[in-house]
Amino acid sequence: MSESGAVPFLRFNLKQTLEGLTQGRPASLVADEVRTEQASQMRSHEDALMDIALEHAGLIVELANTVRIALEAAQVGRQNEVAAMAGAGQGSGDGADRELNGARGSLLEDDNFSATCALNA
């Protein structure tokens, strides 16, 4: 969980705990509500990372297909197609790099937040 996601999560937990205990709900029920929210937050984060991985994989497949088409064009002497495919391949490669850097940034944000929390504990 990132630092930006932790604040709303903690607010929710404090609110649910205060309201639940004030209303006389069993502590075990309040704890289950908190666990459910935590699981939901973790699933959301994992889903976001999976979306990035899928997009990256799609771009890599697109890049591989572009290379295949360019190689076929080069074998039969269609140099103008090879140049066009090189430009298309560069775009796919750049897109894949952006996705990968986005995933790394997300993981670094989580790691830094976790390390900060561990140091402050």
Domain boundary assignment for the chain? 3-120
2-27 pLDDT per residue, tens = 677 778 888 888 898 899 889 998 88
Q: What residues have CB less than 8 Å from 95, skipping those under 6 apart?
A: 59
More confident residue, 121 or 82: 82
CA angle 71, 72, 78 (to 5 degrees): 95
CB distance 30 to 16 below 8 Å: yes
Q: What residues have CB less than 8 Å from 52, skipping those under 6 apart?
A: 99, 102, 103, 106
26-83 pLDDT per residue, tens = 888 888 888 888 877 777 777 777 888 888 788 788 888 888 888 888 888 887 777 7
Q: What is the mean pLDDT of the chain?
A: 76
The phi and psi torsions of 23 (rounded to 5 degrees) equal -85, 0
How far is the C-alpha of 3 from the C-alpha of 45, rounded, in Å? Answer: 12
Confidence check: pLDDT of 114 > 70? no
What is the pLDDT, as a whole number, of residue 120?
A: 45
